Amino acid sequence: MEGRAEGMDMSIPELEELANVCRKHIVKMIHKAGAGHPGGSLSAIDIIAGLYGTRLRFNVDDPDWEDRDRFVMSKGHASPAVYSILREMGFLNDDDLSTFRALGSVCQGHVDMKWTDGVDFSAGSLGMGLSFGLGCALAARMDSSERETWVMVGDGEVQEGQIWEALMAADFHDVSGLKLIVDRNRIQNDDFVNVQMEVGDVASKIESFGWNVKEINGHDMEEIVGALEWASSAGSGPSAIIAHTVKGKGVSFMEDNPSFHGKAPNDEELALALEELS
């Protein structure tokens, strides 16, 4: 079966609603599992909703369709964000989400292409996804395919040296089909990024590596959709979107709070979160 030639064409209000529905999935599945990473899932979900709702070409009936666009979730601990969008796109169902992190679940702790239809990369070890995406994009070019490869990394992840190897290589090979999104939520596992090891002006640094770069508010859906469109048509060379986000966005007590990087909400916190998201 042929996939869509174009991505979905959701409106801004529809995308905002999609992201909100996903936020509820995220907090619920992490609460049920008693473990997971809410902060980085909530910071990333607006961008992911925008990507799946407007640009990404995929086929639920044929997940391995070779000309699908790739979404490489390199910050694989934010797997609930991916599973929530795959639920809304039809790859997964509510039962799947409810087994997150349980033995035998298609929803593994970190996203894993071996376990889940619609997942294009096995993540969990930070710093590897951009290189993988570069490989996907090089293969697409060799195949004369117009499929795009979208890679999302975290800002703490940018501390990994391999990211810079890949940034350099993508420019050298002039791989226009490769798109990078940096979820700049300013918090990593132990603390704020500027406490652990500040990565600074990521936009200028990546630009100096030869990439097309755009900075946006990663929670403004108009800006997100505009930037995704820009990245698809930015012309020659790879393109990066630096999305300034808020860790835990949408749940007041998780926002900008390092302690909710990798902690599940308890019963009371879940009720509060769902109330805020309703």
Contacts with other proteins, residue ranges (CB under 8 A): 66, 70, 72, 112-114, 120-122, 124-125, 127-129, 131-140, 142-143, 149, 161-162, 165-166, 168-169, 172-173
CB 217 within 8 A of CB 246: no
Nearer CB in complex with other proteins: 16/120: 120
- Give the nearer residue to other proteins in terms of CB position, either 133 or 218: 133
Q: How far is the CB of 211 from other proteins (least distance, A)?
A: 15
- Work out how close the CB of 129 gets to other proteins at its nearest, in angstroms, rounded to a whole number: 8
Compare residues 27 and 123 and give the one whose CB is closer to other proteins: 123
> Which of 136/206 has CB closer to other proteins?
136
* Nearer residue to other proteins within complex by CB, 139 or 277: 139
- Least CB distance to other proteins at residue 188 (A): 19
CB of 122 to other proteins, least distance (A): 4
Least distance from other proteins to the Cβ atom of residue 186, Å:
26
Q: State the Cα–Cα distance between residues 121 and 111, nearest whole angstrom.
A: 7
What is the DSSP code (8-state) at residue 37? Answer: -
The distance of Cα 129 from the centroid of its chain, to the nearest Å, equals: 11
Nearer to other proteins by Cβ, of 24 and 141: the residue is 141
Please tell me the distance from the alpha carbon of residue 79 to that of residue 243, in angstroms, as a whole number.
Answer: 18
Beta bridge partners of residue 16, listed in sequence order: none
**Residues ≥6 apart with Cβ < 8 Å to 278:** none
In the complex, least distance from residue 192 CB atom to other proteins, rounded to whole angstroms: 26
- Contact criterion met (CB below 8 Å) for 45 and 85: yes
Provide DSSP, 253-266: TTTT-GGGSS----
Cβ atoms within 10 Å of 164's Cβ, excluding its own: 16
Rounded Cα gap, residues 195 and 198, in angstroms: 7
